Chain A
Amino acid sequence: MSMIMSEPVPIQDANTPAGMLEGDLVKRARRGDLAAYDELVQRYQQRIYATVYHMTANHEDANDIAQESFIKAFQALKSFRGGSSFYTWLYRIAVNKTINFLKQRKNKNHFSLNDIDFNAENDPDLVALTSDKTPFRAVGLTELQKKLNEALMKLSEPHRMVVVLHDVQGQSHDEIAEIMDCNIGTVRSRLFYARQQLQGYLAEYAKPA
């Protein structure tokens, strides 16, 4: 009989930054408490980094922009009125920074792609996609990754952002509308158009069922 060993869950003290609610951490960070802000960074670093990375397709650029977004957010904390969640507000800063960066970079795409993790080979969706019955059968995951990133980079920044936030990051239409400061209808239409475009770019591989 095998035993399932689970890692012990650390008990978090509500008085330490790790055990605090987001609102309390934000209040403390506004007063200049860097330990509180460190905790906020740890909570959102992966999501912010991933969004910027998927938009730029470059690890080094994503690292710089993500760090600068957190620094700018700290400097601007005094202007944060709490009208939206800190998370949405932080996302908005990162999104704006990324779009500004991409506009300055224009069409000079320089890929620096991260490796695909080992779990990808066991992902049922990806396994199904690369099985013998699909057009992807002849293409390895690495090649597929390259083609997908090339296709994504052909989209305009707002369209790419919607695809990244919805189809990659799993954000809802409402959240995306709030982050991108537009209405839900715009988010839906951008998503539809972006998917159509992507399907066209990847026509060789992704054919509608």
Chain B
Amino acid sequence: MNENDNNFAELKQLLKLKRHEVPPPGYFDHFASDVTSRIRAGEAGGQRTFTERLEAEAPWAVSFLRIFETRPGVIGAFATCVCLLLVSVVVHSSRADKAARLAMSIPSSTSVAGSPMASMTAPALVAASDSSGIVASTNPVTSLEPVSTLFAQPGSGSLFQPAGFGVPAH
């Protein structure tokens, strides 16, 4: 190592020049007081900025945000991902809503078989219908057109619509 030191003797002499680079006169007179006043200012009421607090309490969040600062492409990719996620959530929720409506219709139609209405004969059903002669149906599409069926009472003028007992395919 001494031999190496001798090889660099002139360089080491030159580096001594750096020791003579000094800040302006009086610079250190206020340095310590500047530091302590900055510390006091920071303590005086939690005046740390949001970023400083975040850096102290959740450094992972700060480093995550810094990724976006340095790479604009990542911001675009992240925004696209968020939009896609939002759209897929909306689509999924609307599908789920439809499925829920269908599921609601299944028990009402199947329960008809065991209901007192199922055991009624057609004339009884007609009798049970309201005065307008419209029979409540489990079919969501209600037709008010007169239907000619075997059960239609001639001359009664009542409207009759058969109940749908078909189970919808899932």
Q: Which residues of A contact B (CB under 8 A)?
A: 34, 37-38, 41-42, 45-46, 49, 53-54, 59, 63, 66-67, 70-71, 74-75, 113-117, 119-120, 123, 125-126, 128-129, 134, 136, 141, 144-145, 148, 163-164, 167-168, 188, 192, 195, 198-199, 202, 205-209
Contacts and interface: CB of A to CB of B under 8 A. Distances in A.
23 contacts: A34-B40, A38-B36, A41-B35, A42-B31, A46-B28, A54-B18, A54-B21, A63-B23, A67-B31, A71-B35, A71-B42, A115-B21, A117-B20, A126-B16, A129-B14, A134-B10, A144-B17, A148-B14, A164-B18, A167-B11, A195-B4, A195-B8, A202-B11
Given A37-B39, A67-B34, A67-B35, A205 B14 contact: yes
Given A70-B35, A141-B17, 11 more contacts: A34-B36, A53-B21, A53-B23, A54-B21, A66-B31, A129-B13, A168-B15, A199-B8, A202-B14, A205-B14, A207-B10
A125 B13 contact: yes
Given A37-B39, A45-B31, A114-B23, A123 B11 contact: no
Interface string B42-77: 100000000000001000000000000000000000
Q: How large is the interface on B (under 10, 10 to 19, 20 to 34, 35 or more residues)?
A: 20 to 34
Contact of B39 (A34, A46, A209): A34
Contact of A71 (B7, B13, B31, B39): B39
Chain A to chain B: the 5 pairs with minimum beta-carbon distance, closest first: A120-B20, A41-B32, A125-B13, A167-B15, A114-B21
A49 B11 contact: no
Interface in B22-41: 22-24, 28, 31-36, 38-40
Contacts of B31: 41-42, 45, 49, 66-67
B1 A206 contact: no
Contacts of A199: 8, 11
B33 A38 contact: yes
Given A34-B40, A38-B32, A71-B39, A119 B20 contact: yes
Contact of A148 (B15, B22, B33, B56): B15
B19 interface: yes
A45 B11 contact: no
B168 to A, nearest CB: 64
A71 B23 CA distance: 21
B17 A126 contact: yes
